[in-house]
Structure formats: structure tokens, C-alpha cells
Amino acid sequence: MKKLFSEIPCIRSEDLELRQLAASDADGLRQLTESDEVYRTLPTFLFEKKYDDAAVTIRRMYDEGLEESLILGIFRAGEFCSLAEFYGYRAPLLKISVGYRLLPRFWGQGIATKALGLMVGYLFQETNVKIITASVLPENHASAAVLKKNGFQCAARSVWENWGHALPTKADKWICTASVPRFPYIFHSENE
């Protein structure tokens, strides 16, 4: 991710903030990673699940984890709600993949839709990215709706992927190639 992000961004709208996790966010991250409800629709090898201790995960996320992905916390009114992830950057194609996961108590409140809108807006306006992709389980209709609301189109259905389970997983592949941000955002470096 260092090839794409010269610094870790902080992306804000009126009611959401996507920013680097801090040590004080460990309890929220622990709640998220312990939720079977959340991870039943996600790959098994996500960085936040690599270590048993959430504080250790946060300490290592922005050095060793930054090679493969950039994970930001999603906060509403200062409260940890979820994670947003940028991963799989392919420089020659100007392509990146995105993902998000939300604590169940925040489901159905529009947070994922707004957060993805901030991610898409940031990528298309602040980087050279031209293609954004996402993979979603076919039965995850809520996540598919979030993608649709942000201009993604389903490019392929039920494609076999390695999600770290015993057998390959069928996923729908989504793509977004142009965007007018649905939600205004403000870019700040973490140093400001």
C-alpha cells in the first residue's frame, strides 16, 4: 500500500471519520473480531484476525500490515463502528480492491454506504486509481446494496475464490470505474 498512499489518510464527512486506529480503539476492534456474525461472510485471513490481542494487532497493523493493505477505523461521533480496507493494489492497472466490516449494532444505519462513498471519493480524487473492485458472498444482499448505492456494478457472479476456508468460496465480483462522490469528505494527513 505504500506505493499508493504516501501517508495514512484521515477521511471525514459531517458524521463519519475514517482514520488510523489508535491504542484506545483496541476494545472496539476486539468486539469486532470476536463477532461470528461479522466474520461468517468474510475471508479467514484478514489482518485484524492475525493476532489474538487487539492492542498487538493495532501496533503491527501500520508497519507489517501496510505492505498488503491499509485498514482504517470507521468512527461515528468518535465511536468505533467498523473497519474499512484498501487492498490488492495493482499499479500497472491502477486498480485496487476495497472491503468493509461493521459491528452488528451499527448494521442498517447507512454507515457502510457512507464509508464506502468516502473511500471511493478519496480513491478517485486523491489517487491515480481508475478501477475499484470488491468481492461479496452472493447471499450477502446488504453488502451488495451498499456497493450498488456507490456506483458499483456486478461484473461476475459466483466466481470461485480462495477465502481461506477448507474449500474455495463462491463470490460475486463488483467493479466501479468512475465516481462522483456521494458524500462530501475532507482529507487530512494524520500529522495535522
pLDDT (mean) for 44-56: 91
Global pTM reads 0.91
Q: What is the pLDDT of residue 101?
A: 95
Percent residues over pLDDT 90 in the chain: 73
Q: What is the pLDDT of residue 165?
A: 83
CB 150 within 8 A of CB 138: no
Q: What is the pLDDT of residue 90?
A: 93
Domain boundaries, given as residue ranges, for the chain: 9-181
Mean pLDDT of the chain: 90
Residue 180 has pLDDT above 60, yes or no: no
- Which residues are 176's β-sheet partners? 132
**CATH number given to 9-181:** 3.40.630.30
Q: What is the pLDDT of residue 191?
A: 47
pLDDT in tens, 73-113: 999 999 999 999 999 999 999 999 999 999 999 999 999 99
pLDDT (mean) for 3-24: 94
pLDDT in tens, 125-168: 899 999 999 999 999 999 999 999 999 999 999 999 888 888 88
pLDDT (mean) for 21-41: 93
CB 72 within 8 A of CB 18: yes
- Which residues are 86's β-sheet partners? 70, 98
* Closest by Cα among 53, 52, 56, 102 to 79: 102
Q: How many CB atoms lie under 10 A from the CB of residue 153?
A: 11
Between β-strands 95-102 and 186-189, what pairing exists: parallel, antiparallel or unpaired? unpaired
* Closest by Cα among 133, 160, 158 to 147: 133
Q: pLDDT grade, residue 185 (50/70/90)?
A: low
